[in-house]
Chain A
Amino acid sequence: MEVAELQDKIYAFCLAAKGKKKLKEKDIIKGVSAELSLEPDEVKKAMRAMIDVGRLMYSYGGGASSVEIPSEEYLREKGLIK
């Protein structure tokens, strides 16, 4: 599978959980790799590339970290959109 296509799947996975469950990195890696029968490492690399460019972001609450889709406010703050 092409990386861009995999990243779209990861994005869709996160979107489906939005507002319902705080996803940890490992939830995404396990969930997407099981869904697409891919190696966890492949999903991890693709997901981290998304975090590096702001397509996904780390969040934090109650002492635990999660990965989620960034808000427009966050993207604007990081200069990724105007």
Chain B
Amino acid sequence: MKKYNTPLIDELEKGPWPSFVTEMKKAAKTNEMSNDALGHLEKCYSTKIGYWKHGGIVGVLGYGGGVIGRYSEIGEEFPGVAHFHTVRLNQPSGFFYTSKALREICDIWDKYGSGLTNVHGSTGDLVLLGTKTDALEAIFAEYSSRGWDLGSSGSALRTPSCCVGPGRCEWTNYDTLGLTYALTQEFQDEMHRPTFSYKFKIKSSGCACDCVAALARADMSIIGTWKGDIKIDQAEVKNYAKTMDINKEIVNMCPTQCMDYDGKELKINNKECSRCMHCITRMTKALKPSGERGATICIGSKAPIVVGSLLSWVIIPFIKVEPPYTELKDLIRKIWDWWDENAKPRERIGEVIEMKGMRSFLEAIGVKPMPQQIKEPRKDPFMFYTEDDIAAYKAKEAEEKKTGKYRF
């Protein structure tokens, strides 16, 4: 195996943090593809050129996603990475694996690919880095025979992803794991047969801590919330007061300023609370949500491509999230129908809403305008006049002129 001199990427091994270069070097000892990937990376750093080509027609028969074609322009110099395709595996909800399952994944990958993985990619999938075109069908056959499936890519529903939810977290307001599994099963066709104008991501977080960053990354963010008051254990508040400055760290950092602490008692004006979770995460033993649990549905976040990056926008302030999730599934289908009708190629739903307006979007999906949907203070995106409104105004104006009596 050729030995590459890698002074530039060696720099990335210095410092206190784990280094991907170290891991690549370990894999390179036994794998030609990983070895060439190291040499290739060093060349990219030294010339400041990325030699990767992306996309194309790689994939497994019948599937429109799950494999992302990567080729090197300098494949003759580094034959191990001439083809270096990425394979996405659909991750389990909440990223729970047994060590046996991980070993199984890695054994198959060592057999057909570079041995390098990315657990997990920002999509949520378990990402297997670097294989050749002629190995793809065999890889798919081996993984699927053991119950694994490919993840999604391209203009499709991307593999739904969620936080650990009730598996490990006391703050979750709904079963994120169950919902993600149900949506994955329900929308298999939309995941593996790309039919949309562009990608569509669904991410589910059990509370506003939003551990999967759904609010910033997903076209549809499902964020857990609750309807009742925050229950306060004043004795525990006193305990926290011994080790923290409650006014400085909690009260003054409340985004809606709905809290008050006089040094003895903590009070919360729950009507003003936006359920941001800040106080609950800092005073876990003292504060707990109560009442009905469910989720807020937000729409439209994305990274910048056609227009700038967008954050999600509330469309449904509260929805019960319980099996069989029929209401949510129906809503998703309505959203896709409207998007499909209105989007140009490579337009995400947030961009289409920006262009067509939230009003027409809400009308199409059958959701009534609500105060919680207001995106920014002093802006009302739902103010509009129908033809009937205009006719009524004209009639009123004509009557006022005729009678000389003005009605305000």
Contact = CB atoms under 8 A, between A and B. Distances in A.
B115 interface: no
11 contacts: A26-B340, A52-B62, A57-B59, A58-B57, A58-B63, A59-B57, A61-B56, A62-B346, A63-B155, A63-B199, A65-B65
Contacts of B197: 24, 64
B57 A65 contact: no
A74 B137 CA distance: 12
Interface in B314-332: none
B134 interface: yes
Nearest to B340: A26
A60 B153 CA distance: 9
B59 A58 contact: yes
Contacts of B57: 57-60, 70-71, 74
Interface in A2-32: 24-26
A46 interface: no
B134 A65 contact: no
Contacts of B55: 60-62
B187 to A, nearest CB: 15
Interface size class of A (residues with CB under 8 A): 20 to 34
Nearest to A67: B64
Nearest to A47: B193
A15 B210 CA distance: 47
A77 B134 contact: yes
B61 A64 contact: no
Contact of B137 (A63, A64, A70, A78): A78
Contacts, number: 70
Majority secondary structure of chain A interface residues (helix, strand, loop or mixed)? mixed
A58 B193 CA distance: 8
A26 B156 CA distance: 12
Interface of B: 55-57, 59, 61-65, 68-69, 133-134, 137, 153-156, 193-195, 197-199, 305, 340, 345-346
Interface centre among A51, A54, A61, A63 (most CB of B within 10 A): A63
Nearest to A49: B62
A78 B58 CA distance: 10
A54 to B, nearest CB: 6
Interface string A37-54: 000000000001001101
B62 A60 contact: no
A28 to B, nearest CB: 10
Contact of A64 (B56, B59, B133, B198): B198
B62 A64 contact: no
Nearest to B136: A77
Contacts of B59: 57-58, 60
Nearest to A58: B64
Given A25-B195, A60-B65, 5 more contacts: A25-B193, A25-B194, A59-B57, A60-B154, A78-B137
B62 A51 contact: yes
A24 B55 CA distance: 16
B345 A52 contact: no
Interface centre among A25, A64, A65 (most CB of B within 10 A): A65
